[in-house]
Amino acid sequence: MDNVTDEFALAKRALAKDIVGEIVLSENSDKVIRKWRTIFKISQKKLANELGITSSVISDYESGRRKSPGIKMIKKCVEALLEIDASKGGNVIRSFAKSSAEQPLSSAIVDIKEFGSGVSLHDFCKKIDAELVTKNVSTDREIYGYTIVDSLKAITELSFAELVKLYGMTTQRALIFTKVGSGKTPMVAIKLTNLHPALVVFHGPETVDDVAKRIAEVENIPLAISRLENPEKIVERLKDL
């Protein structure tokens, strides 16, 4: 086994252990199962086919209509998610391997948090008085965490590799940039990482640069402006999520 393959296998094994642990220990295992399937962008039908069961069984587990699966079934579900991702190139597995590297967080990161279950994009925006500025972009998604970034520090401090760390444990999160001018630079940086967040929020500008809007629309990333008076208010509003 070469080094690259070995590293991927180790990352896959570590992620499987983390996911299984989170599901087993959660009081709402149905929501956590749905969370991870959503993060991997795998349909109920696809997961069911991999497991050799009907999609209605997966639906029942995720809705709480069926008793939480035992540890054996949970392991099978997680392994199936990882196998499907690996068959498509392992992008999700690799992104977690990068984000879990033990390096100190940059001072450009104001706050970072993961959610145990999803928060609708609409409710998240409402929480921080954020208004969407993009058109024809899918908003049918859930937020599983957020990172608040000081955009001025990010521009001067973060390397390309460190930009990936903004995604924390999952790309299914909101990236909130404070002290934003036109918004062009953050959107170009996001495009370069090739890791798409579920939502981007700017705090600071009255309007957003047309190039930034165009990137968001082409990449299908909802883009919003928060009207709260200062970044501290955003942190405060998001504490109870």
Q: Over the stretch 160-205, which tens digit does the pLDDT of each residue have? A: 556 666 766 677 899 999 989 888 888 887 887 777 899 999 998 8
Looking at the structure, give the CATH architecture of the domain made up of residues 3-98: Orthogonal Bundle (1.10)
The pLDDT of residue 204 = 87
Select from 114, 146, 144, 110 the least CA-distant residue to 130. 146
The pLDDT of residue 1 = 45
Mean pLDDT of the chain: 86
The pLDDT of residue 186 = 85
Q: What is the pLDDT of residues 45-85, one digit of tens each?
A: 999 999 999 999 999 999 988 887 888 999 999 999 999 99
- The CATH number given to 104-238 is 3.40.1390.20
The pLDDT of residue 98 = 61
The pLDDT of residue 102 = 46
The pLDDT of residue 2 = 52
- In the sheet that 130-132 helps form, which strands lie side by side, from edge to edge? 109-120, 142-150, 174-178, 199-203, 223-226, 130-132
The pLDDT of residue 160 = 56
H or E, element range at 21: helix 3-25
For the chain, domain boundaries: 3-98, 104-238
- HEC sequence for 120-137: EHHHHHHHCCEEECCCCC
In this structure, are residues 129 and 64 in contact, taking their beta carbons and an 8 Å threshold?
Answer: no
The pLDDT of residue 71 = 86
Q: What is the pLDDT of residues 10-28, one digit of tens each?
A: 889 888 988 888 888 777 8
Q: Is the pLDDT of residue 37 over 50?
A: yes
Q: What is the pLDDT of residues 112-152, one digit of tens each?
A: 888 888 899 999 999 999 999 998 888 888 999 999 999 88
Q: Residue 79 corresponds to which tokens in the numbers above?
A: 């392994």
Q: What is the pLDDT of residues 77-117, one digit of tens each?
A: 999 999 999 999 998 888 777 655 444 556 788 898 888 88
